Structure 1
Amino acid sequence: MKKTIKYITLTLCIASVSSASHADVKVGFLATLSGPSADVGRDQLDGFNLALEQLGGKLGGARVILIKEDDQQKPEVALGALSKLLEKDKVDVVTGLTFANIVMALQSKIGATDVPFLGSVAGVSAAAGAQCKSNLFVTSWQSDVPAEAMGKYLMDKGVKRISVMTPNFVGGKDKISGLKRFYKGEIVDEVYTPLNQLDFSAELTRLSASRPEAVFAFYPGGLGVTFMRQYQQAGLLGKIPLYTTNTIEGTSITAMGAAAIGAITADTWSPGSPGAESRQFVTAFEKKYARLPSAYAAFSYDAAMALDVAVATLKGDVSNRKALTRAIATTPFKSLRGAFRFGSNNYPVQNYHVFEIAKSSTGKPEFRLLAENVLQSHADAYASLCVAK
């Protein structure tokens, strides 16, 4: 009889350990957390953590273990960090993924594992199309699309001659490709600067000399603050209208101050977006971090919410990574942006809007909705090239 009791006790202990192994979800957070564009990665992390806090530290009822890695915006560092997350930490899902060149460097590793990846910024054209992966999702956008919205807006407003300026990397080139897809006016000059360049005086002189009706620019993170200040210092902000995407963010708008006022920006979300969920998120983020959230924070918050409902459908058991991937692809979640779904290539189908940076009653710059649904239920141009699914 005693032996039987011991056997039953041991069986219960094993069952308890097995149950506990399914109670935790290991999330690898791989992002750019240092260097000149660290603000982007910081916003991703803070948005994700805010969601986790509101969810009680759980996803789908399962306790979260968050393991952070800084890719330093260096492909070789990112490769080493991802190897650690997959092989040593044995994470169940990877999120973050800040810059396009980093995502492209990770493509072979992403394709070689069943672990799902849920990126919240980088939306590389190649990874949306011919090099798409069934286990790679993006909650932000394909990088071209905010610029597509701006291109359409410029055409709607009858702007006939523009100059463009962006860092010389895949994300910047995607932005210009998107702009050209919808903007059919004359582009009188295209200026591409090194990704780490912080002095734009020569390029801004060149832009001014080309005498465009307007300028379209894309400079992410800390580069955006530097660019906007120098654009103002060069006397161009009031002289040549500035249209942009993903340069002026909630994180950076305070640092830009008066240099941002008057600029026009396009995106699927900003702190000026309507909707109760969006306003509640902005209020909660400001209360916790004492700054406005950027779209990157919102996209990362949504990544956590997408994971929450996906894990819930599996009753907290994420041991089957392919099942988790299917759950992410097929389980709707409530996005801060309103209407949202993953398209056939795991990239968003969503609406895009245009915002003006205006002076608030306190004199500080703020986002104001200028044109709603410039693009509606819009998918990216590369989805038809994706055959991985």
Structure 2
Amino acid sequence: MSVDIRRPISMARRWGPRALVVGALALFSTASSAAEPVKLGLMLPYTGTYAALGEAITNGLKLAIEQSGNRLGGREVEYVVVDSEANPGKAPQNMNRLVVGDKADVIIGPVHSGVAMGMLKVARQEGALMIIPNAGLNVATRQLCAPNIFRTSFSAWQTAYPMGQMAYDRGFRKVVTIAWKYSFGTESLEAFEESFKAAGGEVVKQILTPFPEVEFQSYLTEIASLKPDAVFAFYAGGGAVKFVKDYAAAGLKDSIPLMGSGFLTDGTLKAQGDAATGVLTTLHYADGLDNPTNTAFRKAYADAYGTQADIYAVQGYDTGLLLVKAFAAVNGATDDQKALIAAMEGAWIDSPRGAWIFSKAHNPIQPVYLREVQNGANVVLRVAGEAVNDPATGCAMAE
């Protein structure tokens, strides 16, 4: 079943007055640096476990800018690339290099939430314009939100909260939750539990496993003894492959349905094989979304890079679309950061995932989909949330 999502587009009307302000600011902006390239600092992983994610984000970003003539607001583009190595310890130094040393106009990164914490500290201190194309730690657009910080991906809350109601609607009343014991894992379980309890369900046990260990047998034995209606899990990458395969091998797949945020089955299906069939997930994208933007994007990406796009490529692409729109609104000028920020705040993104806009906390207000693994693909069953907006708890800009 395919789903054509267009209804969130109407939300763009609320940004009309802001768009007028941006236009006025642009008239008074000076393009003194127009002859110089716009300098984009990329701080993403290009080696190690997350290298494929960094590459996909970079490819998507460059594709969007190439489709705009390789220019932002009429200016050429220069990329300054730093390998984050997904190493939180190196994040402040690398961020300082891009902001102070290379004087990048915009910093794009990271993938890893631990790296994001180090980057956010420097961005807030230096007032550097930063766009997060993946890291989903809630605090980035909650307690640590700032006018110069934007996120084009998701919060941990957004990818898990909608599943609570979906689980209840499918008749599940008692659920066990399980995840790696680190921030994104615990935030995902908390978001699911918040929604599931509000609908009337009960989480009978929360299980946190050591990160990054992938020995699950004892936990699966405990789940079997608890006999819940279903299990909600957060794992990603190799951990997701191992968990889903072990879950099926333990004989739980047919008796206790498995659910999770979309990272449980995104980029992992080939390795999981038949073990993943029937797994339910919620995420802000699915390969087969039936909308013209997604169709055109997937063809262009495959033609350019010889591989299929994934959620990370989409998030990179949307970052590029945001930059194209914002720089066009200020005629390429970067000397008035307030005008550029206002242009970004007012952007409406016609994304492959479905149209979205920014919340007051600079996080996407976006559709989230309920998906089921069928024949080796994440198939969209329905819209789990049409315009899912993170609560932005603790963000002064959202108050």
Same fold (TM over 0.5): yes
Runs (5+) with no aligned partner, structure 2: 1-30
Length-normalised TM-score, structure 1:
0.86
Measure the CA separation in 1 of the matches of 2:265 and 2:42: 21
SS of aligned partner of 1:183: helix
State the match for 2:96 in structure 1. Answer: 83
Measure the CA separation in 1 of the matches of 2:242 and 2:302: 23
State the match for 2:20 in structure 1. Answer: none
Moved more, 168-177 or 191-200: 191-200
Measure the CA separation in 2 of the matches of 1:187 and 1:45: 39
Give the residue type in structure 2 aligned to 1:40: L
Give the residue type in structure 2 aligned to 1:263: V
After superposition, what is the alpha-carbon deviation per residue over 1:327-373, rounded to whole angstroms, capped at 9, x for unaligned?
211232322233311011111112222011101xxxxx11211112x
Which structure has the larger Rg?
1
Q: 1:58 to 1:250 in 2, by over 3 A?
A: farther
- Check the 8 A contact 1:242/1:263 in 2, yes or no: yes
Give the residue type in structure 1 aligned to 2:396: V
* Counterpart check, 1:269 vs 2:285: yes
State the match for 2:390 in structure 1. Answer: 380
Q: 1:19 to 1:131 in 2, by over 3 A?
A: closer
Q: 1:198 to 1:289 in 2, by over 3 A?
A: farther
State the match for 2:343 in structure 1. Answer: 327
User: Which of 120, 124, 128 matches 1:107?
Assistant: 120
Measure the CA separation in 2 of the matches of 1:88 and 1:315: 26
Query: Alpha-carbon deviation of 1:19?
Result: 6.1
Length-normalised TM-score, structure 2:
0.84
Q: 1:62 to 1:340 in 2, by over 3 A?
A: same
- Check the 8 A contact 1:36/1:222 in 2, yes or no: no
State the match for 2:382 in structure 1. Answer: 371
- Check the 8 A contact 1:22/1:318 in 2, yes or no: no
- Check the 8 A contact 1:219/1:246 in 2, yes or no: no
- Check the 8 A contact 1:38/1:222 in 2, yes or no: no
Measure the CA separation in 1 of the matches of 2:219 and 2:51: 24
Query: Alpha-carbon deviation of 1:21?
Result: 5.7
- Check the 8 A contact 1:147/1:245 in 2, yes or no: yes
User: Which of 281, 298, 308 matches 1:292?
Assistant: 308
Measure the CA separation in 1 of the matches of 2:245 and 2:62: 31
Q: 1:130 to 1:248 in 2, by over 3 A?
A: closer
Measure the CA separation in 2 of the matches of 1:47 and 1:195: 30
Moved more, 315-324 or 211-220: 315-324
* Counterpart check, 1:343 vs 2:324: no
Query: Alpha-carbon deviation of 1:145?
Result: 1.4
Query: Alpha-carbon deviation of 1:151?
Result: 0.8
- Check the 8 A contact 2:357/2:366 in 1, yes or no: yes
* Counterpart check, 1:174 vs 2:187: yes
Runs (5+) with no aligned partner, structure 1: 1-17, 360-364
State the match for 2:332 in structure 1. Answer: 316
CA-based RMSD of the aligned residues comes to 2.2
Measure the CA separation in 1 of the matches of 2:127 and 2:265: 34
SS of aligned partner of 1:106: helix
* Counterpart check, 1:239 vs 2:248: no
Measure the CA separation in 2 of the matches of 1:51 and 1:339: 16
State the match for 1:11 in structure 2. Answer: none
Give the residue type in structure 1 aligned to 2:347: T
* Counterpart check, 1:150 vs 2:163: yes
Give the residue type in structure 2 aligned to 1:386: C
* Counterpart check, 1:206 vs 2:250: no
Measure the CA separation in 2 of the matches of 1:232 and 1:283: 34
- Check the 8 A contact 2:281/2:370 in 1, yes or no: yes
SS of aligned partner of 2:369: strand
Moved more, 262-271 or 117-126: 117-126
Measure the CA separation in 2 of the matches of 1:69 and 1:36: 16
State the match for 1:160 in structure 2. Answer: 173
Measure the CA separation in 2 of the matches of 1:81 and 1:129: 24
- Check the 8 A contact 2:265/2:281 in 1, yes or no: no
- Check the 8 A contact 2:174/2:204 in 1, yes or no: yes
SS of aligned partner of 1:251: coil
Query: Alpha-carbon deviation of 1:25?
Result: 1.2
Give the residue type in structure 1 aligned to 2:114: N
SS of aligned partner of 1:112: helix
State the match for 2:106 in structure 1. Answer: 93
- Check the 8 A contact 1:164/1:215 in 2, yes or no: yes
State the match for 1:41 in structure 2. Answer: 54
Query: Alpha-carbon deviation of 1:154?
Result: 0.6
Give the residue type in structure 1 aligned to 2:282: A
Measure the CA separation in 2 of the matches of 1:249 and 1:299: 17
Q: 1:107 to 1:155 in 2, by over 3 A?
A: same
Query: Alpha-carbon deviation of 1:250?
Result: 4.9
Query: Alpha-carbon deviation of 1:111?
Result: 0.7
Give the residue type in structure 1 aligned to 2:170: K
- Check the 8 A contact 1:99/1:171 in 2, yes or no: no
> How many residues end up aligned between the 2 structures?
365
Measure the CA separation in 1 of the matches of 2:65 and 2:86: 25
Measure the CA separation in 1 of the matches of 2:84 and 2:49: 13
Give the residue type in structure 1 aligned to 2:382: A
- Check the 8 A contact 1:36/1:223 in 2, yes or no: no
State the match for 1:215 in structure 2. Answer: 231
SS of aligned partner of 1:63: strand
- Check the 8 A contact 1:30/1:69 in 2, yes or no: yes
